[in-house]
Structures are given as structure tokens and as C-alpha cells.
Amino acid sequence: MIEATAPGKLFISGEYAVLEGAPAIACAASRRVRVRLHRSRTRERNQAGRWRRAAVRLLGARGGEQTFQTAGLEIESGALCAADGAKYGLGSSAAVAAAVTGAFLAAKGPLPGAMEQLRLAGALHRSLQGPGGSGADVAASLYGGVIAARRGQVERLAWPDALACGVIWSGRSADTGRALARYREALKAGGRGAQRALERLKREAWGVQKAWRRGSGEALEALAQYAAAWQELDRAAGLGIYSAPHRELLEMSRAAGCLYKPSGAGGGDCGLALARDPEALARMRRMAAAQGYETLDMELAVKGMSVSVAADR
């Protein structure tokens, strides 16, 4: 049996801007998906058969189709979901794509280089989730740690010293596909305000990447500028990024002395509270909990996809 695990992800910056050529910064989170590739067919649940068939088709071009004719796939992704099954927005499909790719490649022999793994995992993700994404989520799950991703290129970054971050669940899942479609429609409809806001967002995304390397103080300031630009785009294009829960959490963050922003497409999923003062972050957590929001206990910038071999059951 081949077992592979991959972490979820969080977007720190670059949402939407990455689709227009600006960099996105994302990090791996310690909640992980786990997949097991068995020598013989097992009872496949949670769309595991769909992932297996797509992986066989993808790897068939590399001589792997015959290898997996009788294989069975098992997927566990509950760690990236709330108690009621709602997805937190930690990139579960991207993490599954990274882990499934790792398991299938490991069954064939030594893993190829990271860029080839990313190419294959990205192709697998698109084959099931559809085109249009940036691939930064797959890269974060595969590479782990903190990355800057832009047009298929990945740069590893360090987490800035003294930058504290908390992850808060908005209480609802976001539909990323619908959010991206709404974004494209808004751009197609034109409007100088939306275009100006998008150009500003792209500039601020570049600014975050540069500031991130210079430490927590400059990174936090650049993220504040980025968040302001994102709110401007949201208002100008009517994207619904800052939904009612995110607006409420934003107001709490101001009272607590933190920076707050949604992570990912917005509307739902998780948000990030960031501060250099740990006590400010603690205040934010207490305030959010008092209003019924769930703070997710997890580490950030953790190890990426990993593979191991075990005795089959």
C-alpha cells in the first residue's frame, strides 16, 4: 500500500490578482488529507473512484495505465471540513490532487522533481475541478511551507519573524467556481472603477511579495494595503468577497488591533487575523469565539506532500 498525505492551504495574498499575472502568496496548513493506494480494488467512497480513474488516464501517457488496472484508492479529507461536513475552504481538492499524484507516482518508482510533480498534480486537479484556477493552491499543498506562485513558477519563502496569524471559520463554505465566474463577468462588463481597482490590487500583490522578504513589520503594512485594495475591488465589481460574516470579523479585528482578510475567493470559508502583537491576536480570538465563530487550531507553513509505503490491509 502507498500512503500519501498533503496539507491544506491558505491564501495570504494574491487572490484574483494571480489570475492576471501578479504573484500569490500561500502557505500550507497542518490539517491534512490522506490517501491510500491499494494493490487490489477496495470499496471506494467519497469520489475516490473518480480520482483514481482520472489519475490512471493522466499517468497512462507515461506508461502507467497497466500498473493500476486493479488498484483501489481510499481518500480521507474530513480534517479539512467542519463537524457538519461543510468545507472550511482549505483547498481540499488541491490537497487531494497533490496526494493522489504522489501516491500514483510513488507506485511507479522514484518521484520526479518538484516541478514535474506540480505539472501532473495541476493537470489532475484541472481534469476534475475544471480550468480557470491559478494552481497556487496545488503548489502550496505539494511544496508546503510558504510559497509565492505566479504563472506556474514557485518561489519558496520563509514565514516572517514575529508575525502572528489566526485562522477563523466564517461559518459558511464558499463556491470558488461561482466566485471566479462572477469575477470574469464583472471584468467583461467593463467599468473603469473595477479596472482601476484590479490594477491597484495587482500592484499591492507585488508589494506584498517584496515586503514579505523584509520581515513582519513591512509584510503586515503591505498586507493592509492589499486588503484595502481588495475591498475596493469588491465594492467596484460587486463580487461579494466581504460577506456579512467577513465584515463582522473585520470590525472585530479593528477593535482588537489586528489586520483581517478573507483567505481565498471570499464570500465564505476562512479568514486570517494577523498581528505582530500576540495579545491583539488573542483578543481577536476571544471576540470571535464570543460571537460564535470557530477559530481553527492549526500550524502554518508545515511540510508539503509526503509519501510512505506500508503493508496493505
Task: Return the CATH fold of 164-296.
Answer: Alpha-Beta Plaits (3.30.70)
Query: For each of the chain's 313 residues, which pLDDT tens digit applies?
Result: 899 999 999 999 999 999 999 999 999 999 999 999 998 777 788 789 999 999 998 876 555 455 566 788 999 999 999 999 999 999 999 999 999 999 999 988 899 999 999 999 999 999 998 887 899 999 999 999 999 999 989 999 999 989 999 999 999 999 888 888 888 888 878 678 888 999 999 999 999 999 999 988 899 999 999 999 999 999 998 899 999 999 999 999 999 999 999 999 999 999 999 999 999 999 999 999 999 999 999 999 999 999 998 765 5
pLDDT for 65 equals: 52
pLDDT for 68 equals: 67
pLDDT for 45 equals: 83
The domain locations on the chain are: 2-158+300-309, 164-296
What grid cell was written down for 21?
499575472
What's the pTM? 0.94
Rounded CA-CA distance 102/4 in Å is 6
pLDDT for 54 equals: 93
Rounded CA-CA distance 211/160 in Å is 10
Class of domain 2-158+300-309: alpha beta
What grid cell was written down for 291?
460571537
